[in-house]
Structure 1
Amino acid sequence: MTAYRFRVKFEPDPTSLWRDIVVGADRTLAEFQRTINAATGLDQGHLWFVGTDEDYWNSDVKYQSPQQYEGAPETDPLLGPERLENAGEVTIGEMTRQLGLEQYDRICYLYDYGDEWRFYAILKAIDSEEASDREPTVVNEKGDPIDDQYGSAGTDSNSPSLPEPLRSVLPETAVPVADLRNLEARDDVVHVLVLLSFETGFGAVCERFAIQFEDAGYVIENFQPGWQVVEEVDGTDRTEDQLLAALADAVREWHAEIVEISGAMTGQHFDDETIESMHVELEAELERKGYDHL
């Protein structure tokens, strides 16, 4: 009785296209791969492999597509220490044991050796009460499927555009906090939450904020070369307070994701206190608005 929850991210733009997939321990990697491709808009006509961490071609172990493996020897002297496995036979549970995967560890997935569609998957949770034979199932997602596999390989066409009025009023750089506060005077803006601000010689500026409209909420980050939606919350069938609560939860999830990405890039381990420290401005904003219970 074990299942695994992976967050599968499109490597060129991991904040805009990802899928949460729950899969039983007894399901094969090939079954997992078919679900990834179906969920992200890719076909099944090319070779592929699953590897370690985000090593891709440098992976010490490659779980190859069955059509490529075709009974190849476990090791090949020309490939040095690399080990090859048949993804059509190895189960998810076997892979996690072989690689010693623990929560928040990563695997990589490369599809189509010509165009090289790259994904990585974070092991988000291990559920010991879920059936081991559970079919791979998408349980959460962000971003539209890839709609032009052979015309946009390795590029991102899924980044949601900024909602108005932000598209027309935000500069490419950090925005003054006062300007964000002024947005709340608009009829179509319900709440603005400043999430990452700092003082300059010209006053406080912001590089991360959340904004709530009547029917949707967004978490927005200032990347290079500009602003980008990193989390979007649907307000359908939600009251104003319920949407704000969901938006606050989305902010907390984004902060946790930032910590995960930073840890993977630096090799450092960040604990829950690091994540909590990132929530300081969020909690202050909620308290300022009288929603400190959220």
Structure 2
Amino acid sequence: MTAYRFRVKFDPDPTSLWRDVVGGADSTIAEFQSAINPAVGLDQGHLWFVGEDEDYWNSAVKYQCPQEYEESLGGDPILRTERIENAGEVTIGEMTRQLGLEQYDRICYLYDYGDEWRFYAILKEILSDESSDKPPEIVKEKGESIGDQYDAPGTAENDSRLPDPLYSVLPEAAVPVVDLRQLETRDGIAHVIPLLSLETGFGAVCERFALQFENRGYVLENFQPGWQVVEEVEGVDKTEEELLAALADAVREWHAEIADISGAMTGRHFDEETVEAMHVELEAELERKGYGHL
């Protein structure tokens, strides 16, 4: 019994549009792809493949859609520079073994060779208690669907406003830590946790923090041109402490993802000690609030 949870991110804007997909090890890659496209607003009328890491066309292994795989069988294998597999036959479990995927490793997905809609997927969890024949399904999502897929990627207007109730409490710039702590005095806000504080000539300012309302929690990062939600935690049917624990776990996941992204960009490997060091402010804040056990 094994299933895999991937976070599929839209490559041009990965913090604004992503979907979490859980699929059993025995589901095929084609079934996995069939769950993704309607969830992000794409059709099924074009060729596609899944590849290694974020290599896309340079991937050493391509899991091609069945239509392309069947059409490519007549080609000269000597001329190929990559290994070709049939996404309609290879299962998710087989792919993870073939690519040696571990938690937080990546695969890429390219749809429509003309418009080239690019996504990458991070292996978030290996679920040993889920059925291996579980059909792939969307379990969590962020961002609106792409919409008219034949507008060039990135050309659609984007409303950068934060969702309510965040929009009413946050400025666009980094927030002074003193002001951030004052948010906890507002009705409906249970916890504010600074995560990345920087000393300036005007005092400490915060570039990353977690904010917990009564029924929802957010992890926010100060990107250009302002704050963006990078993790969102649903709190329905959770106690305040349970939601705080889930929010703290989301922070740790985001820190691991930051290390993964930085490693991919710089070619360096950031070990667990590096990620643990990123948790310093989180752990200190939890301890200060009396939740050091979380």
TM-score range for the pair, normalised by the shorter chain length? 0.7 to 0.9
Distance across 1 between alignment mates of 2:198 and 2:118: 35
CA contact (8 A) 2:104 2:124 kept: yes
Alignment of 1:12-161 (within 5 A): 12-73=12-73, 76=76, 80-126=80-126, 131-138=131-138, 140-144=139-143, 146=145, 148-150=147-149, 152=151, 154-155=153-154, 161=161
Pair 187,69 (structure 1): closer, same or farther in 2 beyond 3 Å: same
CA contact (8 A) 1:3 1:130 kept: yes
Corresponding residue for residue 176 of structure 1: 176
Distance across 2 between alignment mates of 1:127 and 1:212: 27
Runs of 5+ unmatched residues, structure 2: none
2:64 partner letter: Q
User: Which deviates more from structure 2 when the two are superposed, residues 164-173 or residues 79-88?
Assistant: 164-173
- TM-score, normalised to structure 1, is 0.85
1:271 aligned onto 2:271: yes
1:221 partner letter: E
CA distances 1:98-121 after superposition (whole Å, capped 9, x unpaired): 434344332111111222221112
CA contact (8 A) 1:161 1:229 kept: no
Aligned-residue CA RMSD (Å): 2.9
Shift of 1:64: 1.7
Runs of 5+ unmatched residues, structure 1: none
Query: In the comparison of the two structures, how many residue pairs are matched?
Result: 293
- Secondary structure of the residue aligned to 2:15 is coil
2:253 partner letter: E
- Secondary structure of the residue aligned to 1:70 is helix
Shift of 1:237: 2.8
User: Which deviates more from structure 2 when the two are superposed, residues 59-68 or residues 17-26?
Assistant: 17-26
- Secondary structure of the residue aligned to 1:54 is coil
CA distances 1:16-74 after superposition (whole Å, capped 9, x unpaired): 33333333343322112112223333221111111121111222222221222224238
Corresponding residue for residue 201 of structure 1: 201
- Secondary structure of the residue aligned to 1:194 is strand
- TM-score, normalised to structure 2, is 0.85
